[in-house]
Amino acid sequence: MAQPMIDVRDVAKRFGDNVVLKQINLHLPAGRVLGLIGPSGAGKTTLVKSILGMEKVDAGTTTVLGTQMPNRQIMQKIGYMAQSDALYETLTARENLRFFGELMGVKGPALAKSITHVAQVVNLTAMLDRRVSAYSGGMKRRLSLAIALIADPDLLILDEPTVGIDPELRQQIWAELRTLKQHGKAILVTTHVMDEAERCDELMLIREGIALAQGTPTQLKQEYAVDTIEQVFLKAGRLQDENHSDR
């Protein structure tokens, strides 16, 4: 079997007394979309940052593309979209793209070509030379996604990518993610929009730092004997609370 894009083993993390992640195992091969779903504060972003090597884990290992994280060189192959838009507001979208492209090691004509391409993907071509301060929330989100795509990475880690994006554009973005997947890229998406969860190849439910369930959407629905992922999520949560009260 091909080398996994992400391999997380027994990762645990706590901030002071607050346990954020408990024994998380996660496996993502190339050409798959993995959805991390869970309520806010579940530890999704912490897990994402641990995978990127930006957060120190207390136990366990995270491996990306066969290299144990943290590793600076591997970051060149990861396209990351943070939960909050981290953009330079006084610069134009093009300047933001160019800056992050340069940091990711994309140079010269390849960079110009890449800017044109990603702008098209997120439908920002007409607004490329406007300052980000004049952008709407949705436009900023799209620009952040474009930045994640700028270096044509093998692995995409998208933290809540479609917040504030209208349904039509959301369709377009998911279509693009599918195309990327078909080209052998691996995609890790965190979300709490349940209909997006249905589009993932595989899902992982996180609640209170614990991986409650893992599998394809169909598997999960069968396992919990419900019709929607939302119900899976609610049921899994209830079961977790009952287990807690037993202890």
Partner 1 sequence: MRTIAIVKRVLREMLRDKRTLALMFIAPLFILSLMYFLFQNNSTSVAKIGVSNVDTSLVKALKNQHTDLASYGTHANAKTTIRQHNLAAFIHEEDGKLTVTYSNSQPSDTALVKQALQGGVTKLKVQALVAATKTQKRVLQQQAKVLKTVMAQQQKLQAAQGTTRGQTATVGNSTSPKAVPAYTVTSHYLYGNSDSTFFDTFLPVLLGFFVFFFVFLISGISLLNERTTGTLTRLLATPVRRGEIITGYLVGYGIFAVIQTIITVTFALTVFNVHMLGSVWIILLINFLLAMVALSMGIFISTFANSEFQMVQFIPLLIVPQVFFSGIITIATMPDWLQWLAHIFPLYYGGDALMNVATRGFGLGDVSGDLWILVLFAVVFTALNVVGLKRYRRV
Q: Using the minimum distance from each CB to partner 1, give the nearer residue, 78 or 205.
A: 78
Among 75, 143, 177, 213, interactor with partner 1 by CB under 8 A: 75
Q: Whole-number minimum distance, CB 213 to partner 1, in Å?
A: 28
> Contact, 162 vs 170, CB < 8 A?
yes
Q: Using the minimum distance from each CB to partner 1, give the nearer residue, 159 or 202.
A: 159
Q: Whole-number minimum distance, CB 34 to partner 1, in Å?
A: 19
Q: For partner 1, which stretch binds (CB under 8 A), given 19-27, 77-85, 193-201, 210-218?
A: 77-85
Residue 187: name the closest of 168, 202, 172 by CA: 202
Which residues between 117 and 176 bind partner 1 (CB under 8 A)? 131
Q: Sign of the CA dihedral 51, 20, 159, 234? A: positive
Does position 116 interact with partner 1 (CB under 8 A)? The reply is no
Distance of CA 216 to the CA centre of its chain: 17
Residues 6+ apart with CB under 8 A from 137: 164
Does position 56 interact with partner 1 (CB under 8 A)? The reply is yes
Does position 100 interact with partner 1 (CB under 8 A)? The reply is yes
Residue 118 to residue 147: CA distance in whole angstroms: 8
Q: Whole-number minimum distance, CB 102 to partner 1, in Å?
A: 4
Question: Quick one: 199 exposed, middle or buried, by C-beta within 10 A (0-12, 13-18, 19+)?
Answer: middle
**Can you tell me which residue has the tokens 């993907």?**
121
Q: Please name the amino acid found at residue 88.
A: Y
Residue 146 to residue 114: CA distance in whole angstroms: 10
Q: Using the minimum distance from each CB to partner 1, give the nearer residue, 10 or 88.
A: 88
Which residues between 14 and 53 bind partner 1 (CB under 8 A)? 52-53
Does position 78 interact with partner 1 (CB under 8 A)? The reply is yes
Does position 233 interact with partner 1 (CB under 8 A)? The reply is no
Q: Coil, strand or helix: which one is 246?
A: helix
Q: What are phi and psi of 164, to 5 degrees?
A: 80, 10
Residue 81 to residue 156: CA distance in whole angstroms: 8
Does position 102 interact with partner 1 (CB under 8 A)? The reply is yes
Does position 91 interact with partner 1 (CB under 8 A)? The reply is yes
Does position 85 interact with partner 1 (CB under 8 A)? The reply is yes
Among 60, 76, 210, 215, interactor with partner 1 by CB under 8 A: 76
The contact set with partner 1 (CB under 8 A) reads 52-54, 56, 70-73, 75-76, 78, 80, 82, 84-91, 95, 99-100, 102-105, 131
